[in-house]
Amino acid sequence: MQAVTGEEMGAVDRYVIETLGYPGAMLMENAGRAVTERLLHYYHTGERFLILIGSGNNGGDGFVIARTLKDAKREVHVCLIPPEEKFKGDAKLHKNLYENAGYTWTSYDPIYFQKADIVIDALLGTGISGDIREPYSNVIEAITNAEKTVVSVDLPSGIPGDETTVPEGSLQADRTITLQQPKLSYYTYPARDYYGETEVVPIGIPPTAFEHTVKTKRNVWSASETANHWQPWAASSHKGNHGKVGIIAGSETMPGAAAIAAGAAVKSGAGLTTIATPQSVIPMVAAHVPEATYFPRENEISSFYENKDGIAVGPGTGFDTDGPEILTELIENFEGPLVVDADGLHQLAEMLDRVRARKHPLIITPHPGEMAALIGSSPRDVNSRRFEVAASFAQEHGIYVVLKGPYTLVATPEGEIWINDSGNAGLAKGGSGDVLTGIVLAFVTKTNNIQPAISSAVYMHGYTADYLLERGVPMETMNAMEMIQALPNSFREIR
Ligand SMILES: NC(=O)C1=CN([C@@H]2O[C@H](COP(=O)(O)OP(=O)(O)OC[C@H]3O[C@@H](n4cnc5c(N)ncnc54)[C@H](OP(=O)(O)O)[C@@H]3O)[C@@H](O)[C@H]2O)[C@@H](O)CC1
Ligand SMILES: [K+]
């Protein structure tokens, strides 16, 4: 499913109306009806509705919802926020239809909250810009104080469709019924927290409208996409078919990172896993990953990567002395997919020219802090424009960027974005990134279709955390080794 900004949704709207000839009022009718259908599904025991209507098309949807709920004999009170002369276009048309059906409204008065169970927020939709102005800020405050169940139409009033700042005083919804496509803000924080339970309802806009108008592709990657791209093992296969992966990881102070990344690769289908780590660290790591073979990192690195199908570099390497040299060599000479994570990323900022010149897939897996270091800004800045940062960095350097966080983003060299929708905050701790690196490496090594492999790996990683959570493992205690042990369950359930 494609996520769009408010501006893009507006462009789609114009295209559908002006080029395809769909009447705007028909889309508004579809939108309002779709919302009413969901309301009747959730609230069927005589709840009383208060519908608050703003001056734009979000308010127009509100009139359709009001009319169709009243047609269904539900108790509904309708309040208009602006004076009635403000309504124009399709919203005005639907106001007229509402009135012609014999239904009435009043001007806004907070007294009506008393007789309502459910407040329908049809105040502001994707047309919002900047801080919330009066009278809407006042109305939103009153909704909050009324402590009723709030259902927002399209998006909670105040919240922008894109990833710009959430205005102060935005409405906290209990439920949001989003029209046609998820909006970008749903996948960003803090906006996501305002949406409450969210679902997307179709309003009859054909896919061609998106193909013609929305240039930036941002799609959600979920269980079905992962299952569709699954690479089945043939019964006749042998270990050489499943990828010879090399992992350059671990150091005297961080041996665990090597064990975790390699353990995850082994459990994710890598045929042969070899770990390059300092000689002194090998016995410790080997005790945890007996399936792997070992390579002392002090040796000539070319003999390590020459026969590999995929390499990951960075987890716990420390990389103070030999790091730049190893990375440079891999970027310039290794011809398979190269995954750079953690300590490998710290060196990468100095090598971006080489990165751009590389002909083979390069995948980086930064958290917001590492991403910030790469672009010379702050984690806060990265988090305020995750989509933009991931897409532009990937495109500019011709690489795949896995920008970690809630809704991890996978950006391709073409600037497309895939939004992961699995995972929970139990992943926000040390070791979790090393697990991801191992899964990504195992998956990308077996295919030329890099993005689906990365997205599937990211999905499996999050899914495994969700699986643990569902089975009673608290987020606080969830750890990397449990994740690795739970991977077989995820494999069984997803493919
Ligand atoms: N796309 C589609 O295909 C379809 C879209 N549909 C629906 O249309 C919605 C988008 O409608 P839209 O563009 O009319 O904008 P919308 O959000 O209702 O509000 C605009 C008004 O808000 C106001 N306003 C703005 N900023 C403000 C602020 N900071 N603080 C306070 N007020 C502010 C400003 O009012 P003014 O200041 O002029 O009084 C402006 O006129 C979309 O979310 C969906 O619900 C469906 O009907 C069917 C098909
Ligand atoms: K709204």
pLDDT one-digit tens code per residue, 231-247: 776 666 666 677 899 99
75 Cα distance to chain centroid: 38
The protein residue whose alpha carbon is closest to atom 5 in ligand 1 is: 57
Decide if 361 is inside a domain. yes
Domain stops at, among 172, 195, 215: 215
* Judgement on whether residues 178 and 233 belong to the same structural domain of the protein: no
Is 259 in the same domain as 196? no
Same domain, 205 and 309: no
Give domain status of residue 206, yes or no: yes
Q: Is residue 309 part of a domain?
A: yes
**Considering 159, 180, 215, which residue would you say is the last residue of a domain?**
215
Q: 460 and 427 in one domain?
A: yes
| Interatomic CA distance for residues 268 and 467, integer angstroms | 16
Q: Is 468 found in the same domain as 429?
A: yes
Nearest ligand, CA 60: 1
Instruction: Please check whether residue 1 lies inside any domain of the structure.
Output: no
* CATH code (residue 10): 3.40.50.10260
Give the number of the ligand closest to the Cα of residue 156. 2
Judge whether 316 is annotated as a binding position: yes
Please check whether residue 37 lies inside any domain of the structure.
yes
Q: Is 333 annotated as a binding residue?
A: no
Residue 14, domain extent: 6-215
Average pLDDT score, the chain: 95
Residue 127 pLDDT level (bands cut at 50, 70, 90): very high
Q: With pLDDT > 90 as the criterion, what percentage of the chain qualifies?
A: 92
Pair 198, 276 in one domain = no
Same domain, 181 and 249: no
> 199 pairs with which residues across the strands?
177
89/155 Cα distance (integer angstroms): 21
Looking at the fold, whether 189 and 287 belong to one and the same domain comes out as no
Which token pair is 300? 């000539």
- Ligand that comes closest to the CA of residue 137: 1
What residue's CA is closest to ligand 1, atom 48?
28
Consult the annotation and say whether 406 binds a ligand: yes
Indicate which CATH number applies to the domain containing 317: 3.40.1190.20
What's the distance, Cα to Cα, between the start and end of the chain in Å? 20
Same domain? 188 vs 289: no
pLDDT of residue 233: 67
Q: Does 204 share its domain with 334? A: no
The answer to whether 57 is a known ligand-binding residue is yes
Q: Which of 215, 248, 274 is the last residue of a domain?
A: 215
From 255, 317, 246, 259, select the one nearest 288 (Cα to Cα). 259
Q: Return the bridge partners of 113, or none.
A: none
Instruction: Identify which of 356, 278, 279, 282 has the alpha carbon closest to the alpha carbon of residue 323.
Output: 278
Which one, of 18, 1, 420, 423, lies nearest residue 201 by Cα?
1
Q: Are residues 118 and 248 in the same domain?
A: no
User: Which protein residues touch ligand 1 with a CB less than 6 Å away?
Assistant: 9-10, 13, 27-28, 31, 54-61, 82, 86, 124-133, 136, 153-154, 179, 203
- Cα separation, 485 vs 473, in Å, equals 13
Number of domains the chain contains? 2
In 54-196, beta strands by DSSP E = 76-80, 106-107, 118-122, 149-153, 175-179
- Condensed to tens digits (0 to 9), the pLDDT of residues 145-170 reads 999 999 999 999 999 999 999 999 99
